Structure 1
Amino acid sequence: MLVMASMTSPEHDSAENNRIKVWFQFVPREGWLPYSTEGLWATRISEDTARLENIPFLQEGVAEGDIVRFLTNADGLHWATERVEASGNCTVRILPVPSGPLGASAEAVHEQLAPFGLRGEVFSEELPLVAFNVPARAELGRIKALLTRGEEDGWWHFEASCVTDAWHDYA
């Protein structure tokens, strides 16, 4: 499943289902997108913790399903302060090479990873960056082999921005 995502303005609590947006602040990476914040949907678990419900495009070191602690500011925005429990999931980002065999198609990237049942979100039509959630139970060795082969063959550039020990166990 490929989902279009966008950088949106801050959203406030949704009382009926405890869905909130948790914001992360970071220093933009040189040569990367110029943003210094990213908001991720989450389900509130307690007064100051929430489980992340979507895949980060920019924030390093967190994955969908992780539980984070947050502080709520005077404007009602929830700012992440730390990850308190890892989900075991990994986050992988893929940017197709426009001149490569897949063109600048986020859909073509998704088709390559579809056999693994991975769910991905697309940054925008203008920037076909795809962020994938790689569940802990996924075939990590085969996924890593495909990612490496795709990069070597000029299909895409990729980065694993949140990984587990199990991810590292595969060369």
Structure 2
Amino acid sequence: MESTVEKIKVWFRFVPREGWFPQDTEDLWATKLGDDAAIVQSIPFLQDGVAEGDVVRYQTDAGGLHWAVGRVSTAGSCTIHVVPVPTGPLGRSPQAVHQRLSAFELGGEDFSEEFPMVAFAASADADFTGIKALLDQGAEEGGWQYEVGCGTVRWWNA
């Protein structure tokens, strides 16, 4: 008997941040674990407090949408958002951001051409100290601004 892996979209609701995007939801691909839990398989751009590999609980509404209601467990990964400064040495290039961080072999996705934010997933065994040092250096050089959308104790202590 073959087992099939069911991919679903899990939706998250949040309060939009002033000066950011007007969206108050974000959908993330996930692998269904049962009727009410799934493993997040994509990197969040807007939703804080969840990272790729985390298990979330969800409720399915009458329209068939799966809405996240909480995180069940963490994979230990971190989500980092990096936005190149248009007037900085990297310009508006998400590719240049990927290149600068390539030594760390982070998974990353670009938001859009209009807003060149890159969302990175740093796995639990990543070199958090090295990543943080390079992120700080890039910010000090005026190349980018960054924020941590989901950090772990290991990240904050690195």
Name the TM-score, length of structure 1 as normaliser. Answer: 0.89
Distance apart, 1:140 and its partner CA: 0.5
Count of residues in correspondence between the two structures:
155
Give the distance between the partners of 2:5 and 2:150, measured in 1 at CA. Answer: 27
Percent identity between the aligned chains? 55
Distance apart, 1:73 and its partner CA: 0.2
Aligned residue number for residue 138 of structure 2: 150
Cα RMSD over matched residues? 0.7
Distance apart, 1:17 and its partner CA: 3.1
- List aligned pairs for 1:69-148, cutoff 5 A: 69-148=57-136
SS at match of 2:95: helix
**Are 1:47 and 2:22 counterparts?**
no
Aligned residue number for residue 10 of structure 1: none
Give the distance between the partners of 2:143 and 2:21, measured in 1 at CA. Answer: 20
Give the distance between the partners of 1:35 and 1:123, measured in 2 at CA. Answer: 13
Give the distance between the partners of 1:164 and 1:39, measured in 2 at CA. Answer: 22
Give the distance between the partners of 1:22 and 1:110, measured in 2 at CA. Answer: 27
- Residue 74 of structure 1 aligns with an amino acid whose one-letter code is A
- Residue 65 of structure 1 aligns with an amino acid whose one-letter code is G
- CA deviations on 1:79-124 (whole Å, 9 max, x unpaired) are 0000000110000000000000000000000001100000100001
Distance apart, 1:68 and its partner CA: 0.2
Give the distance between the partners of 1:140 and 1:72, measured in 2 at CA. Answer: 36
SS at match of 2:57: strand
- Residue 106 of structure 1 aligns with an amino acid whose one-letter code is P
Aligned residue number for residue 26 of structure 1: 14
**Structure 1 unmatched runs, 5+:** 1-15
Name the TM-score, length of structure 2 as normaliser. Answer: 0.96
- Residue 143 of structure 1 aligns with an amino acid whose one-letter code is I
- CA deviations on 1:134-162 (whole Å, 9 max, x unpaired) are 00101000100000110111000000110
SS at match of 1:33: coil
Distance apart, 1:168 and its partner CA: 1.1
**Structure 2 unmatched runs, 5+:** none
Give the distance between the partners of 1:131 and 1:92, measured in 2 at CA. Answer: 6
